Amino acid sequence: MRENTPEIGVEVRGTDTESLPQGAAGDGTDPGDQLVLRVAVPVVNPQSTSRDSMVDDDAIVGRLPVANADTPCADDLLDAAVVTVLEERVTAYYPRDDEVVALVWEAATDDWRCESWDADGEFEVESGRRDDDEAILWEPDG
């Protein structure tokens, strides 16, 4: 994590490799595996209302697909450039050719949504995020 890591106790709890269902990358394809990042966010009265999160004591743990990712945000598989946190909002950014797609998780309410906007050149971690105060939780190796 970078120097602006939040002090609210948000932590990366590791990664998992999950097999994707046949056809996830198109009819008749074998998409392989996706890498999923587990992020724990302490919240008051945590409640899991989705299949992508679970309660662990006083935290809610979300599963964010980050590599070869099958997300509700696009029809194709995506690779995240960065995962960030701002208070109780965790965001995975997936740059594409002409747009940036983001999977946003509001941990306090366990709400998941997709956002997208036109890319203005190549995505850069420091300048491409929606909010300059977001702390970087994860970046791909290499």
pLDDT of amino acid 1: 40
Q: Which residues are registered as beta bridge partners of 73?
A: none
Q: Please, are residues 73 and 46 in contact by the beta-carbon 8 Å criterion? A: no
Query: From the CB of residue 70, how many other CB atoms can be counted at a distance below 10 Å?
Result: 19
Q: Which residue, chain included where needed, has tokens 């995506």? A: 78
- For residue 65, what are its two tokens? 């697909």
124: which residues sit within 8 A by CB, 6+ positions away? none
Q: In the 8-state DSSP scheme, what is residue 20? A: P
pLDDT of amino acid 23: 57
pLDDT of amino acid 142: 62
Q: Give the residue from 30, 29, 114, 134 showing the smallest Cα distance to 72.
A: 114
pTM: 0.86
Q: pLDDT tens per residue, the chain (142 residues)?
A: 444 445 567 889 999 998 887 655 555 556 789 999 999 999 888 888 888 899 998 889 999 999 999 888 988 899 999 999 998 899 999 998 889 999 999 998 999 999 999 888 788 877 777 788 888 899 998 6
Q: Which residues are registered as beta bridge partners of 103?
A: 92, 114
- For residue 22, what are its two tokens? 């046949």
